[in-house]
Structure 1
Amino acid sequence: MPTPCSRRRARSEVNLSDLALSVLSDGEAAGKAARSREAAKLWRDSGGAMEIGRASPPDRPARPARPLLLPPAEMPRRRGQSDEARATLLHAVQHIELNAIDLAWDMVARFTDHELPREFYDDWVRVGEEEATHFTLLSQRLADLGFSYGDFPAHDGLWEAALATRHDLAARLAVVPMVLEARGLDVTPAMITRFGRMGDEKSVNVLKTILSDEIGHVAIGSRWFHYFCTKNDLSPRENWQRLVRKHFQGLLKPPFNDDAREVAGLPNDYYLPLSGAPAAKSTKKRKF
């Protein structure tokens, strides 16, 4: 019978990159979410003993055969108050959360050669775990409405951004958490209001949980982007704007949730110039 010591040794032979690849290679959506939570627990339970390791993550993670992926312009409108209409809207969020699980673990596995502090990996493991929780909460809510993941079409915009920034850590941080995930801070409050008007408090509560956590995720992206810029003697705001112009097509789209973005370490003098709107001076001190 294995002793506790031998079990600890066996666990320590698995490194964090191995765990990340196990999530990225799981092609079943619910399984990916479960594996993400399990990997996060193993990392925490190692008490700092687990090695980071090295990995070559795939350009595209394994995914289920459904949903049908369409260009964003061809996505159907999500209107009405029927169970199907609500499920369609929640499914769109759920698809983003599945992408976000893979984005977090890809961040863990892809940039292991950058001599990053262990806290970097702690943060992105936490993100991967929380995104998995969001996916599961949405799965449960969709089941309440009589639907499941894959029942509606979705788009592939998030992973296209991941592909475009796969060789550049700063660009990945600038575009994925600080542009695409920050967009969630802008649109989720309106969704909460919409479901509230329908009397759908269960969906409201799920979306409130997601919004609260996503502020933290954008903050993690901002913190490590600023770490990278400080380490390389770069102006964070100027470098962020340069990378967004290079890797993100078009203007950033208002309206913006300025308060949530400020809390997340993304003041409006960063993004307003890229939206075509004049930048108002931020009056709050930033902590990174």
Structure 2
Amino acid sequence: MTNMQQGAFEALQSSECDEKCSLVFQLENQWLAGELTLFSGESHASLDQPGRPTRPVLVEPSQLASRSLGSEEGRIGLIHSLAHIEFNAINLALDAICRFSGMPDPYYSDWLEVAREEAEHFLMLREHLRRYGRDYGDLPAHGGLWRMAMDTAHDPMHRMALVPRLMEARGLDVTPGIIKKLTSIGEMELVASLQRILDDEIGHVEVGNRWYGWLCRQRELNPLATFKELLSTCPVSIRGPFNEAARLEAGFTKEEMQLINELDQAMRRPKSA
């Protein structure tokens, strides 16, 4: 490969998990070594389905079984679900590179770094599955993250607002509770992995926040009002409770935290007859 966009597209197309991760690692190494240009002369923005293995089978979220973390099957289900999220996150970061042209060079460097960390997370979780004698693909999963990618494929501002700042930020809210439960049952190796993932994901959400803010400034839009408008048209509702400390560290403002808390409270109010 001679440019980053081409390399990101090749990794995005790859349907084999280990190959996709390897291509991401190779791409970042070459980019950091100064061996690649940023773009080719052709567009790579038309991929509507990323490369993925034939398994897991994708189902609706309501069809996924819910099990207690106190059982081995429950922990396997949790790890598989998290691995699936991380695999999708690799594709989302690569797609952010391929799909949106005209952004500053650091935007592409940022998302390549995110892709590399997501690949590391996926491989780490896959090793936990293998310790249980399972592998990624053994259980069903859902495709909600990629559906949101397609819903925001027309505009990088929408993508930054509704994937890192809405979908991925949810991980900042729920992961501490999962860590607490796993700690109580002595799953300390898995706890260490999830703490590493949480720390990295704060940075990933910050990347989304930073470029969302940049795009709003370029278009002379109010970030808070624009975010509220985008949330009002989004099929996914924002819901709490929120990890306010992690969200503030990831670049959310106090005004945004007030907004999303108000939206969450409004959703929870009983509808009048």
Question: What residue number does 2:271 align with?
Answer: none
> For residues 72 and 91 of structure 1, what CA distance do their matches in structure 2 show?
14
TM-score by length of structure 2 reads 0.92
User: Structure 1 270/30 Cα, relative in aligned 2: closer, same or farther at 3 Å?
Assistant: farther
Given candidates 219, 236, 240, the residue that maps to 1:254 is 240
After TM superposition, list the pairs within 5 Å mapping 1:86-165 onto structure 2.
Answer: 86-112=75-101, 115-165=102-152
Letter in structure 2 aligned against 1:84: E
> For residues 83 and 194 of structure 1, what CA distance do their matches in structure 2 show?
13
1:85, distance to aligned residue in structure 2 (A): 2.0
User: What are structure 2's unaligned runs of at least 5 residues?
Assistant: 268-273
SS of equivalent to 1:265: coil
> For residues 104 and 124 of structure 2, what CA distance do their matches in structure 1 show?
31
> For residues 132 and 75 of structure 1, what CA distance do their matches in structure 2 show?
24
Question: What residue number does 1:69 align with?
Answer: 58
> For residues 150 and 217 of structure 2, what CA distance do their matches in structure 1 show?
25
Question: What residue number does 2:166 align with?
Answer: 179
Q: Deviations over 1:268-287 (max 9, x none)?
A: 03422332359xxxxxxxxx
The alignment-based identity, stated in percent, is: 37
1:73, distance to aligned residue in structure 2 (A): 1.1
Given candidates 187, 198, 209, the residue that maps to 2:196 is 209
Q: Deviations over 1:78-130 (max 9, x none)?
A: 31433332111011000000000000000000001xx2111001100000000
> For residues 240 and 25 of structure 1, what CA distance do their matches in structure 2 show?
31
Q: Does the 8 A contact of 1:70 with 1:154 survive in 2?
A: yes
User: What are structure 1's unaligned runs of at least 5 residues?
Assistant: 1-10, 279-288
SS of equivalent to 1:152: coil
Q: Does the 8 A contact of 2:66 with 2:74 survive in 1?
A: no
Structure 1 segments, 4+ long, off by >6 Å, are none
TM-score by length of structure 1 reads 0.87
Q: Does the 8 A contact of 1:162 with 1:176 survive in 2?
A: yes
> For residues 212 and 122 of structure 1, what CA distance do their matches in structure 2 show?
19
Q: Does the 8 A contact of 1:21 with 1:57 survive in 2?
A: no
After TM superposition, list the pairs within 5 Å mapping 1:237-276 onto structure 2.
Answer: 237-246=224-233, 248-267=234-253, 268-276=257-265
Given candidates 211, 221, 233, the residue that maps to 1:234 is 221
Q: Does the 8 A contact of 1:171 with 1:244 survive in 2?
A: no
Root-mean-square deviation (CA), in Å? 1.6
Q: Does the 8 A contact of 1:240 with 1:270 survive in 2?
A: no
> For residues 69 and 151 of structure 2, what CA distance do their matches in structure 1 show?
35
Q: Deviations over 1:173-214 (max 9, x none)?
A: 100000000000001111111111110111001000000000
> For residues 230 and 96 of structure 2, what CA distance do their matches in structure 1 show?
17
SS of equivalent to 1:155: coil
Q: Does the 8 A contact of 1:66 with 1:150 survive in 2?
A: yes
Given candidates 7, 12, 17, the residue that maps to 1:24 is 12
1:85 aligns with 2:74: yes
